[in-house]
Amino acid sequence: MRRSRPLARPIRKDLTARRREPIAEPDPVDDLAPTQTLSVEFQPIGGIFGASNPVVPVDATPGRLGKVLRRRPGARTSAEPGLLEDLDFRILWASRLISQTAQGALLYALLILVVDLANRSVFNSLFVICSILPSIAFGLPAGVVADSVPRRGLMVLLNLCRFAFMLLLIGSDVSLAGVFAATLGIWVIHQFYSPTESSVLADIVEPRRYTEAQAMFNLALTISQAVGLVIAAPILLRIGGPELVFVVAGGLWVIAGALTMLLPAMETHRARRRNAGRTLRQMLGDGWRFARSDRFTFEAIIDDVLVGVGMSALVVIMPFYLERVLGTSKENTVFVFAPAALGLVVGIRLAPKLARLISEQYAATLSLFLFAMVVAALGFVEQAYDFLNDTLRFPLDQLTDAVGVSPLIFVAMLLSVPAGFASAVVSVSARSILLSRTPSSLRGQVIATQGLMGNIAALIPTLLAGIATDLFGVKPIAVAIGVCIVVAALTAHMLGRKNFNLPNVVPQT
């Protein structure tokens, strides 16, 4: 019996050595196992905000814990070159910047023409409706076209069509009917151009960099709006009138079209083969069917749509809010909410980092809730000032005296910063999820479906917000908008978890 005891040590030592042997590297197919384990671990949060790994790239993680668990020894940690160092992306980014600058300047000039020619507010509403109707009528067909024809050639053709519209405006007498016709035409072209442009972005950028690429795309849009709407259009109108705006916009679209010709050719044979023998009705519903079958895509679309609905409702009540609550003229809307641009830029820059830290799905949904809280806080602007100034002892009185604005206006300006930040993060994160999970042959249709849902969803709340403001006042409606956003988001996410049976990865075909 005593001789058996020395034998026990080598056996235990041998077993210990076996336990310490390195585990073989799993096959690529089995590499999803860590992700599935993390999904179960984060299940209580996933019920509301979505699952923990909504992005297709293998390196994406649900957060800091997942990043630590999946970190591989010897991985490259040096910073990657910026996307603008890639020639194809730089060309596409410059094309977007130039084309959106032209569109912003043109729309501003057309709106001024409507005001001068009609001098009635009802025509201003018709001008806004002209931007919504093309999305409802042509949104889904535009998505099918974007997935069925060569995308580079389509972008070149659409820019030339924009240039042709400018030639017609320059060569004809400006009338109210002509302005509305031009507005409809520009927005119809935009319905085809927008999903095509986003699909090209996904074609030339690696999936793991979709969030960064979408942030850069949104930054180009922000810069173009500032240059086109705020700077170029007023100056050009003062110097040469609407005709000069038409000339400059047409020239910019020619440049944008020339840039798109330099992009690489995009393959579309898969989409054409998949659509062969199918009816138009079947193809028009492909984007919606995919969004309904993929929970992450559906939740991302809902998050983005809800922010758009909230923004549309705010546009309606803001003039009344400035006059009845803040005690200032409605003409000061741009001044009061100008700090939102700061939050917008910060959100665009930080969205990729937030996505790497907590995943795109969490970033989009949590930012949506932040946006809703800020909107609701507009209904408690007096209480917010008392809390900051009296309870937290922030020197708001001294700051307002130094700036020369009233305390309530100053609080509204502060609230606009996180509102801009949250809307930017939602936009970037939601579009990144959509690009990552959608097959290439369906990307244009899913993007078009998102735009259609946003425009339809914004119609009724936008109309009701104005009516309800007259009945109940501005502050209760601001609170109601925030509450409705939260309730709608929670309902959509919980129903999504209950109804969708989602695979971990959607193949990029």
Confidence at residue 280, expressed as pLDDT on a 0 to 100 scale: 58
Tokens (6 digits) for 182: 């031009």
CA dist., res. 454 & res. 163, Å (int):
28
Residues 361 and 490 both lie in one domain? yes
Residue 73 lies in a domain: no
Confidence at residue 292, expressed as pLDDT on a 0 to 100 scale: 85
Confidence at residue 60, expressed as pLDDT on a 0 to 100 scale: 42
Confidence at residue 281, expressed as pLDDT on a 0 to 100 scale: 65
As a whole-number percent, the residues of the chain with pLDDT over 90 amount to: 46
Q: Which of 257, 284, 311 is the last residue of a domain?
A: 284
Residue 72 lies in a domain: no
Residue 391 lies in a domain: yes
Per-residue model confidence as pLDDT tens digits over 301-321: 999 999 999 998 888 888 889
Structural domain total, the chain? 2
CA dist., res. 388 & res. 394, Å (int):
6
Residues 248 and 360 both lie in one domain? no
Average pLDDT over residues 5-15: 44
Q: Which of 240, 257, 284 is the last residue of a domain?
A: 284
C-alpha 502: how far from its chain's center?
A: 23
Residue 56 lies in a domain: no
Q: Quick check: 294 pLDDT over 80?
A: yes
Residue 238 lies in a domain: yes
Residues 160 and 253 both lie in one domain? yes
Q: What is the CATH number of the domain that holds 472?
A: 1.20.1250.20
Confidence at residue 282, expressed as pLDDT on a 0 to 100 scale: 67
What's the chain's average pLDDT?
A: 80
Amino acid at 398: Q
As separate numbers, helices (DSSP H) first and strands (DSSP E) second, the chain gives: 22, 0
Residues 380 and 446 both lie in one domain? yes
Residue 15 lies in a domain: no
Residues 144 and 121 both lie in one domain? yes
Confidence at residue 279, expressed as pLDDT on a 0 to 100 scale: 59
Residues 195 and 338 both lie in one domain? no
Residues 253 and 328 both lie in one domain? no
Residue 222 lies in a domain: yes
Residue 28 lies in a domain: no
Residues 218 and 303 both lie in one domain? no
CA dist., res. 213 & res. 206, Å (int):
9
Residues 309 and 236 both lie in one domain? no
Residue 27 — pLDDT band, cuts 50, 70, 90?
Answer: very low
Residues 348 and 446 both lie in one domain? yes
Residue 470 — pLDDT band, cuts 50, 70, 90?
Answer: confident
Q: Which of 284, 300, 333 is the last residue of a domain?
A: 284
Range of the domain at 437: 285-501
Per-residue model confidence as pLDDT tens digits over 453-462: 888 888 888 7
Q: Quick check: 79 pLDDT over 70?
A: no
Q: How many CA atoms lie within 13 A of 132 on its CB side?
A: 16
Residues 488 and 377 both lie in one domain? yes
- Return the higher-pLDDT residue of 52 and 489: 489
Confidence at residue 427, expressed as pLDDT on a 0 to 100 scale: 94
Residues 219 and 304 both lie in one domain? no
Residue 476 — pLDDT band, cuts 50, 70, 90?
Answer: very high
CA dist., res. 44 & res. 232, Å (int):
50
Task: Choose among 445, 503, 438: nearest CA to 207.
Answer: 438
Q: Quick check: 46 pLDDT over 70?
A: no
- Return the higher-pLDDT residue of 280 and 240: 240
Average pLDDT over residues 52-76: 41
Average pLDDT over residues 134-152: 90
Task: Choose among 487, 472, 479: nearest CA to 381.
Answer: 479
Q: Quick check: 160 pLDDT over 90?
A: yes
